[in-house]
Structure 1
Amino acid sequence: MRTTRKVVVVASVLAGVAAPVAATAPAASAQAGMAWYAYHNATPAQSEAQVKRLKAQGYHPITVNVSDGERYAAVWLKDGSSPGWGIWQGMSPSGFQRRFDAGLKEGAQPISVSATGSGDSVVFTAIWEKRSGSFLTKSNLTPAQFGAVNKQAAAKGLALSSVDAYGTPGDVRYVGVWTANTDGAWYYTYGYSRQRYQAEFRAKKAKGFRPVKVAVAPDGTFAAVWRKDGHRFANYIDMSSSGYQTRFNQLKPEGLRPVQVNAEGGKYAAIWE
């Protein structure tokens, strides 16, 4: 039986310090007073140690991902804010539902949800924050159901704010979070091959839009959320783990930090700002 690892709970602190995963190093962002830290390809134990260490140093997570036999990636900020937050890893579908129900009672909403695997082997990880406002969370969605929920959410004034794909190449499933749309027009795409995604990127960029969320599916396709916000950014897809690290090293001196990292099947996609 898989045991859910409750790494940090809302309004609680777990003690413990461990050496960092040898994936990335902390770096100051372009914004004064803000620091960030990112890691990827971490085992469950390494991820848990990172959470305890970064929590103790005053960081809070903004995005999390699980993929490929339970390997974790995440990005953390240290910006002076202290939202009530929690992060869980190693959850089964039923464990994720129990944590979701408990979060509702605590006034917490999921802000980043990721899953990998299929059938009885699905593993979830997620970040919760204490916040108000309307939101919707759905998992185990087929592509058709994912498209339908997006349309329903948009009609209610919600926008897709977290997305991931899991399952198998022949049976892709989606998990998403939709929150109140306060940032204007948005679009979503899914099931796009690398070539189609790149064509969409060029077309959207010409109209002032850019990807703000991206997810890799088990069949090698990509899902994304697009917005027009004028932010400086970089977006790369179809990277290996080492390829992601190379891009990370190249963009860090330019003052760009990853704000979302996603992987599946050994392929990474990420967005920097």
Structure 2
Amino acid sequence: MLAKIAIVVAATTVSLAGGGVAASADAPAYSAYHGATAAQQTAKFNSLRGQGYHPITVNVTSGPEYAAVWVKGESDGWSLYQGMSASGYQRRFDDAVKQGFQPTSVSATGAGDSAVFAAVFEKRGGKFFARHNLTGPQFAAANQRAAADGYVLTSVDVYGTADEPRYVGVWGANSGGAWFYTYGKSAAQHRAEFDARTKKGYRPTAVAVGPDGTYTAVWRKDGLRDWAHYIGMSASGYQKRFDDLTRKGLYPVQVNAEDGRYTAVFVG
């Protein structure tokens, strides 16, 4: 595994673990990093692409700094873009869709004309839709429409300001399984939601921390048994969880951060 870029900052970690932690022989070869500058991520892009890796999740936070997870394996085609404005992301989106690509992971930080976007696009079929610059009520309406039309929220991030958060999301065809979403939850509320949802067989599949410190999450009932989820981590706390969990056979599939607070989802 390639070296990880990390920033060491002391903070309290709130853990929300679930499922088993048995090692999986099916875990792919992967590489993860966080706290990367744009130049460092570009270097990682060139190195990992040359070794047959492709990104499955990307995050941009204040700085801007980047975090991502890459896995090794075949892909029909993909692209990764960073440092985009909202209009730049829209142009990349329009061009990519015309060529048969879909956004699979989209992240943003900052507000207004200063917002910075990063995104992964993959060449794939199937229906989807994507939106950005959504207010809370608009985000809720998009999810209600998605559920009614057979979509599921697959990527989400929160940016903007603490007083005026904005949401960016991607919704893809739901291949099966119930799902739910929550947004604007404090750490305590997210923990309560976690306890209630996991008792009913749900697990978090994507979690984002907003500029106001609240959490937005996608909950799915997919039957996966080996997984873990953590919130409220510093960069060094995320690094420690990463080291501990990967030794137990779990690897990160989604990482998100804002203003030094990290959240992540691991699976086995």
Q: TM-score, normalised by structure 2?
A: 0.90
Aligned to 1:233: 227
Secondary structure class of the residue paired with 2:177: coil
Aligned to 1:198: 191
Pairing 1:26-105 to 2, within 5 Å after superposition: 30-32=24-26, 34-79=28-73, 81-105=74-98
Aligned to 1:179: 172
Secondary structure class of the residue paired with 2:125: coil
Provide the rounded CA distance (Å) in 1 between the counterparts of 2:222 and 2:27: 23
Conserved 8 A contact 1:69-1:117: no
Aligned to 2:133: 140
Conserved 8 A contact 1:214-1:225: yes
Q: Does 1:162 find its partner at 2:159?
A: no
Conserved 8 A contact 2:204-2:217: yes
Counterpart of 1:127 (choices 106, 114, 120) is 120
The higher relative CO (CA closer than 8 Å, separation ≥ 6) is in 2
Conserved 8 A contact 1:21-1:50: no
Aligned to 2:256: 262
Give every structure 1 segment of 4 or more consecutive aligned residues whose post-TM-superposition deviation is greater than 2 Å.
Answer: 19-24, 29-34
- Give the CA RMSD over aligned residues: 1.5
List alignment gaps of at least 5 residues for structure 1.
Answer: 1-18
Conserved 8 A contact 1:20-1:50: no
Taking structure 1 as reference, are residues 23 and 57 closer, same or farther at Cα in structure 2, changes over 3 Å only? farther
Provide the rounded CA distance (Å) in 2 between the counterparts of 1:33 and 1:112: 20
Taking structure 1 as reference, are residues 217 and 33 closer, same or farther at Cα in structure 2, changes over 3 Å only? closer
* Cα offset, 1:104, TM superposition: 1.4
Secondary structure class of the residue paired with 2:68: strand
Provide the rounded CA distance (Å) in 1 between the counterparts of 2:29 and 2:168: 29
What amino acid sits opposite 2:176 in the alignment? D
Provide the rounded CA distance (Å) in 2 between the counterparts of 1:178 and 1:206: 25
Number of equivalences: 250
Counterpart of 1:244 (choices 233, 238, 245) is 238
Counterpart of 2:266 (choices 263, 269, 272) is 272
Secondary structure class of the residue paired with 1:245: helix
Q: TM-score, normalised by structure 1?
A: 0.89
Provide the rounded CA distance (Å) in 1 between the counterparts of 2:256 and 2:233: 10
Provide the rounded CA distance (Å) in 1 between the counterparts of 2:64 and 2:97: 26
* Cα offset, 1:201, TM superposition: 0.5
Aligned to 1:8: none
Conserved 8 A contact 2:6-2:236: no
